[in-house]
Structure 1
């Protein structure tokens, strides 16, 4: 283990501190002299202690820069504890580079005191730490406030940011209680303070950047969560953030039009989730490779998307939209996830292809999905993806309203024969007795010659008894109708699918937990 290994150095320093306190006590009791009797002894005495006492320091001193480096690698709570037993660490604590303030890091227990006392203790501790901090060398500041947020909290937060946000800071996180009335002081990021910031994360506040802020030369990641800002405000920031690589915007309901300028040449990851007021996403950034969108009826204009490799898209009608629109604009997709709450039309059979798509996930989520939707129409995606290796389908519903195979046991439809030579795995969650779903599964079993594993999972509890965090040791209850349909699904698998599965394919059937649900007693 090398000299600069943090754990070894911390252990050495703690041992020296313990020996120092023991020998200092002996010196006060007259048991040893106040000076080392032999020159060159490894135990050296220093006359630089406070209160007129002689400080004993054991062993050769570690260089100050090494001690500061060790201290900077510790989590804040550990760094604070060590500073209480070591004067060397106490000095470096006053310019500790990583400050993270939350009820967890400050050791505040909500059960031991009420909300008001908890809030007072939080403010008191943060105020005490920051006022004793030099304000020099802060690289990362995280503030996670909780409970109610009032005018006094706003003033405190302003003063804390004033101390810590200085030139050289690289990470800034401010997370406030939901609906907190706080205007983030953008002026703090002017005059060079914003030039060094690499990661900015704001939650539950107002954020109104202007062109006067200047360039954010180092900003590589911007994360806004429940932030009150507009598309124009955000445009001022984005237009000067040439180094930006990741942009994450969640629940920012005042943004109507999100414009991502072409100057963001390094932007590779864009995420926009549940911004209720959003109507338009207009991106001209040319190198986005991953795009996550969850929302409503939005006009998407993503410009050049030839480098798009990973796509997550979620809104009603997303399956139909994706099959119709994206093969031409995103020909190089490799991983695609589609989430839809309803589909008004079946998935069309088209000639367009996703030539490079390897992983496809389709999640059709709703209490009850559109009963007129034909599951077998999803074969369109299989035909369009010659490189597909993994296909996951989630059709978990509380009420199965499709025509059951047992209601209409007539001959199963057979789709046009087309063999796939790369698809290895298929998994269906929430498998039911819907006839079109059985037909889709049979088509895969019969036409995918490369298939190695088929997993069919009937409807499951949201929390299962075997999960380590489930303290009750029982699966969460399922409605009687869901349990009955799970049994019908199991019968459909045994009757119509299992006999057609080749010996080269491993069939894995996951049933509902009979111990917790006692299905056999229904």
Structure 2
């Protein structure tokens, strides 16, 4: 019994001493914090403590380098940047530095706007076209106009809007846009009064930044002294005529696609396309085609059977041929090897009419 009392007293003694030590440590920490706080108050009263270290750093958008601004803007869409400018006052002018400008029915007129061409009412189409033009003009007027990477317009416009479109193209050239897309194809019907693409605006100086060009439902009438595009390596043409002179002036062209040019029957490119590697022709009613492309590696053709001459195109590795023709299958299969004698991968799809 005495042993038990002795043991319990020792245990209680240890616990009391441990608790006392803990209290001392806690009190010591409280005293040190209190002394530190009092010491800081003394410094504040003497003006020795720099409070700027404790203030949050505010980011001024206008003070950022242009390359940083463009890199941030390129990760967002124009709609997202516009929403950001509404939320944050520091980023209120952020959208004016956006490098990718895409103007379509939704981006210019809102999500509730009708898709272009779905309305058969002429007055409704005219009203939508006027609103679209005013919106684009207002945005470009406030844009900084420098270091634009991509400039795209997709709306059913015609040559009667040429003054506005010429101003947009001039803006894209002045802002050193690398990619220009002009898609004026209407959905409700095809119009004959296509926009006359202003080739004369481009010269060897202001067109030196253009690398990719897409034209849809425009008219090409390049002047005789047209110098071409010195840096253009990607060209997509849809529903156009008179393509030969434009293509011949693209000496560093690497990628060429021609689609739905129904009025194009003969395609003869006089100048050699030494850099051309990819060629695609789809939905055209060609009768004869001739070009010189010694470095062509991929050739795709979709349309009627035509007399194709590919001069010195011995490097073609892959080819896809889709033909819609009434001629016999024997004539088709004997004509393809003569055009592509060195092809390694060939896919042929032929639709022929047979008589029962």
2:319 and 2:343 in contact (8 A); partners too: yes
Q: Tell me, yes or no, if structure 1 residue 307 matches structure 2 residue 315.
A: yes
CA offset digits 1:327-379 (Å, max 9, x no partner): 3553443332323332xxxxxxxxxxxxxxxxxxxxxxxxxx5156xxxxxxx
Match of 1:336 in 2: 346
Structure 1 pair 97–139 and aligned structure 2 pair: CA distance change class (3 A) = same
Match of 1:109 in 2: 112
Match of 2:298 in 1: 290
Of 266, 289, 301, 1:281 maps to 289
Match of 2:45 in 1: none
2:179 and 2:213 in contact (8 A); partners too: yes
The TM-score normalised by the length of structure 1 is 0.50
5 Å-filtered alignment, 1:502-521, equals none
Aligned to 1:43, what secondary structure does the other structure show?
Answer: coil
5 Å-filtered alignment, 1:214-363, equals 214-227=227-240, 229-230=241-242, 234-261=243-270, 263-276=272-285, 278-313=286-321, 314-316=323-325, 317=327, 319-327=329-337, 329-342=339-352
Match of 2:172 in 1: 164
Match of 2:46 in 1: none
Aligned to 2:151, what secondary structure does the other structure show?
Answer: strand
Structure 1 pair 117–219 and aligned structure 2 pair: CA distance change class (3 A) = same
Match of 1:213 in 2: 226
Aligned to 1:326, what secondary structure does the other structure show?
Answer: helix
CA distance in 2, matches of 1:121, 1:61: 31
2:159 and 2:196 in contact (8 A); partners too: no
Match of 2:181 in 1: 173
Contiguous gaps of at least 5 residues in structure 2: 1-49
CA distance in 1, matches of 2:174, 2:85: 24
2:145 and 2:175 in contact (8 A); partners too: no
CA distance in 2, matches of 1:304, 1:322: 22
CA distance in 1, matches of 2:167, 2:84: 27
CA distance in 2, matches of 1:289, 1:162: 35
Aligned to 1:130, what secondary structure does the other structure show?
Answer: helix
CA offset digits 1:140-173 (Å, max 9, x no partner): 1100013x6472x333222222222226221110
Aligned to 2:294, what secondary structure does the other structure show?
Answer: coil
Match of 2:200 in 1: 187
5 Å-filtered alignment, 1:56-75, equals 57=58, 63-64=64-65, 65-75=67-77
Higher helix share: 2
CA distance in 2, matches of 1:111, 1:247: 33
Structure 1 pair 220–254 and aligned structure 2 pair: CA distance change class (3 A) = same
Query: How many residues end up aligned between the 2 structures?
Result: 292
2:149 and 2:179 in contact (8 A); partners too: yes
Match of 1:196 in 2: 209
CA distance in 2, matches of 1:150, 1:209: 16
Structure 1 pair 158–62 and aligned structure 2 pair: CA distance change class (3 A) = closer
The alpha-carbon deviation at position 129 of structure 1 amounts to 0.3
CA distance in 2, matches of 1:149, 1:129: 21
The alpha-carbon deviation at position 260 of structure 1 amounts to 3.3
1:211 and 1:237 in contact (8 A); partners too: no
CA distance in 2, matches of 1:120, 1:81: 25
CA distance in 2, matches of 1:302, 1:255: 18
Q: Which has the higher contact order (CA 8 A, sep 6+)?
A: 2
CA distance in 2, matches of 1:168, 1:109: 33
1:167 and 1:195 in contact (8 A); partners too: no
1:76 and 1:99 in contact (8 A); partners too: yes
Contiguous gaps of at least 5 residues in structure 1: 1-36, 45-56, 343-368, 373-522
Structure 1 pair 310–261 and aligned structure 2 pair: CA distance change class (3 A) = farther
